[in-house]
Amino acid sequence: MSIFRKSYLVFMCIIGILLFSGCSNKQTPVEKMYEVLEKVVSTEKAFEDQQVPLVELEKKEKGIYDHIISLGMKEFEEITKLSNEASVIVGKRKKHMDIEQESIEASKAEFQTLSAIIEEVEEPLLKEKSLELYDIMMERYNIHNDLYQHYSNALKLDKGLYEMFKKEDLQLEQLENQISKINEEYAKVLEANEMFNEKTNQYNETKLSFYKEAGLEIKTKK
């Protein structure tokens, strides 16, 4: 079983103006970028909303799992009942994880519109920072895709484990083999999750640096 948390994109809010903006109503490339970047934050709101319920479900399932392990085969009916409860929780976790992935995919679709806008940026340093920001975020999306795949695999293995618990002729070797597979998959989940958090933090720092270089006075909402 695994309990994990993720860091989020930082919400930014303009409290100043673009130092180099003129009187024209036409948006500058940086203004366009700002608009997209903040839409990306909003798009990942659904992603953020999944974190607390996911952790709560993981904790609840862990408690049931520990209870099952503590029981002997003489209490097979109770084991079967608990296994069914845990299996339902696995299904709920899958739904939350799917919503999270959909939010990330929507974020990626929005973020990729920056590619054309970055081409319009003429100031060398701003363009360099824009490209750096873009590369970091695309790496973040790729990492989350790996995280989602490993987590989904782990959920399938969890489901299989609870089906095993409902077999009276379950062999210890079968159980140990399944648990070993689960532990291996969750190790990959934890590794990917750590990388995802690091990349999110790197993105937030680079985004802040870009905003400052662009002449935006900003504050962070926590």
Report the CATH number at residue 100: 1.20.120.570
pLDDT of residue 4: 62
Residue 1 lies in a domain: no
Q: How many domains does the chain have?
A: 1
Q: Is residue 2 part of a domain?
A: no
Residue 10 has pLDDT above 70, yes or no: no
Classify residue 21: in a domain, yes or no.
Answer: no
pLDDT in tens, 83-97: 999 999 999 999 999
pLDDT at 7: 72
Interval 19-28 mean pLDDT: 58
Query: Residue 215 above 90 pLDDT?
Result: no
**What does each C-alpha distance from 13 to 35, 199, 202 come to in angstroms?**
11, 22, 19
**DSSP H stretches of helix in the chain:** 29-43, 45-49, 51-70, 76-111, 114-118, 124-164, 172-213
In a domain, 6, yes or no: no
Where in the sequence is the domain holding 136, given as residue range(s)? 11-16+35-221
For residue 80, being part of any structural domain is answered with yes
Q: Is the pLDDT of residue 222 over 90?
A: no
144 within a domain of the structure (yes/no):
yes
Q: pLDDT band for 25, please (50, 70, 90 cuts).
A: low
The reply to whether 64 falls in a domain is: yes
- Tell me, yes or no, whether 24 lies in a domain: no
